[in-house]
Amino acid sequence: MCGICGIINLHPSQPVNQQTLLDMTASMTHRGPDEEGTYYCHQAGLGSRRLSIIDLVSGRQPITNEDETLWIVFNGEIYNYRELRAYLQKRGHQFRTQTDTETILHLYEEFGVECFEKLNGIFAIAIWDIPNQQATLARDRMGVKPLYYSMSGGQLVFGSEMKVLLANPQVKREIDPIALNEYLSFEYVPTPRTILRNIYRLDAGCYLRYDQSGLCTQPYWKLSLERSENRPPVDWRDFADGLYQTLKESVRSELVSDVPVGVLLSGGIDSSTVTAFMVDLYPGTVDSFSISFEEESFDESRYARLASCHLGTRHHELTLTSKTAASMVADITNYLDEPFGDSSLIPTYLLSQFARQQVKVVLGGDGGDELFAGYPTLKAHRMIELYERLVPWTVRAKLAPKISSRLPVSFSNISLDFKIRRFLAGRGVSLQERHHRWLGSFFDEEKQLLLQDWLKPVLRDTYTRAYQHEQESKVRTPLNAILYSDMKLYLEGDILFKVDRASMANSLEVRVPLLNPLVVEFANALPLDLKLHNLTGKYLLKKCMTGKLPRAIINRPKKGFNMPVAQWLTTELRQLMLDMFSEEMVNRQGLFNYPYIKSLIDDHLTHRRDNRKLLWTLLVFQLWHNRYIS
């Protein structure tokens, strides 16, 4: 696991600046504290920071092939590299190391860009082909590992984080208004955009080619749910054993490592499933890690302890106080180079820091909600259809909004008033808009009040990416379109971004067995009814794990990894919020209308409204803007 970067300049009269390459490499030391390596020639430079997991002695990057015509830097892990290596050796390839990195390079020699289809793993790859004066970048199927790029100053600049590109003086810092609009609604900027113009993320499952003919991107793999709609009605028993064996093989393959491996155990069914298989397969006692919270409505540590006790892990628990977590907020941009509005980044960071004291590698349970329909919003889509059909129009249009506006405001975790107001906000809009209203932050009507006039034309683009993904999904069932959208947007833009930044800031590798290609292909071919059965999410997964996990964990309600942001904004973070939203700062930025922000603050501080999502989304943006733009 590493951080990678590079500069490719194909103009003979403009050699790559070696010092800039070193600066870019140094900016991501946290991603790989064990080793630094660079390759440099007139037209190309590659940089790597390495976190040593496989072949601790001879695995330094960049790595070259036998005749030094190809060079590679690589961030990630390839779980089937040993099988691929054996095949390549039979084909006559000579290996100098025991790494998965070198296997990728020889596979590229053998198959060209088709090699990426054969990799089972998480990866961001860059290959420099000297004879063809050609650079190739690639990213794993689900987007677990990040990869940013920009065409700046006539050169291709790329890296594992946006701050790596910003260490290159050729890369400009100019906010993209469309991306700002998307961030305010989604709480992240959907790929391929980033918050800055002319800096992009490579799409998951795609490769990029750059040579004298220009730059182009192509998919090498496409997400598909079409098979799930072309199967006759089935019984869960027909698929339970297949899912069990697929999960087992996925966990087994992802335990490959030359250092100890632990597991992040929240006590939810996803992380508990991964832990259960790991306990069976791992040679030794499994170390599990979780976090507990002071605030009772946010704390679910009892489930992690229950899972650990049942499965027999050596459990480590960190108790997180509100004061400790809130104290991190002012420094949040130390590990965020883009605005990111999901407050669970903070406990994820602290959990990663805690686990890193014991291990370098952990397995996590991310991806289960997207693959197996675990989010409450999916049930809410079914419920709102019934609501629209069965409840009289006068009640829906007049009485319900009045009642919801008079509900007492609570700052507890996902309180009743919060859920009712969110549910009603999904009325009268398209499926995609409804879904992202429920998940995200600002609605367009709120941004009309927030944004200055010159920015308002971008509001027409708010949900464009969601509609594009709905079209490309080629599914007929609305909830399948939502699952597809979640995998392309929320999973990659929020969940995987959060885990990568929080873990790599602490030099910890997180692997995600539920997003192994074996599991993804199996899950995406399942009929929808085996995922969301009436109002029961993760139906087949729950059936599959019955008897292997405690019933209390299988049947526990879904609850996010949230933080008491609403309360923080009235206590520990009050002064920081007032400073970041000062009239002088807001007016100097020229993006937002100060009177509207002041009304959000006043209503929240007096408990007239719970504006936690809006204020937190804005606060993180202000902190980011203050560091990277101002």
Task: Give the residue numbers annotated as catalytic, written as ranges.
Answer: 2
* CA-based torsion, 403, 404, 405, 407: positive or negative: positive
- Per the structure block, which two tokens stand in for 29? 């030391």
84 phi and psi angles, rounded to 5 deg: -65, -40
Query: Are β-strands 361-363 and 509-511 bridged in parallel, bridged antiparallel, or unpaired?
Result: parallel
Question: β-strands 63-64, 70-78: how paired?
Answer: antiparallel
Of 452, 424, 443, 451, nearest to 611 by C-alpha is 443
Q: How many residues does the chain have?
A: 630
Which of 548, 529, 547, 549 lies closest to 539 in space, CA to CA?
529
Q: Are 201 and 192 in contact (CB under 8 A)?
A: yes
CA-to-CA distance for 33 and 164, rounded, in angstroms?
15
Give which of 393, 153, 137, 361 is closest to 264, Cα–Cα.
361
Q: E strands, 432-508, where?
A: none
Tell which residue, 338, 193, 217, 306, has the closest CA to residue 556. Answer: 306
Angle formed at CA 582 by CA 581 and CA 588, multiple of 5 degrees: 95
Q: Is 375 helix (H, G, I), strand (E, B) or coil?
A: coil
- Helix, strand, or coil (residue 301): helix
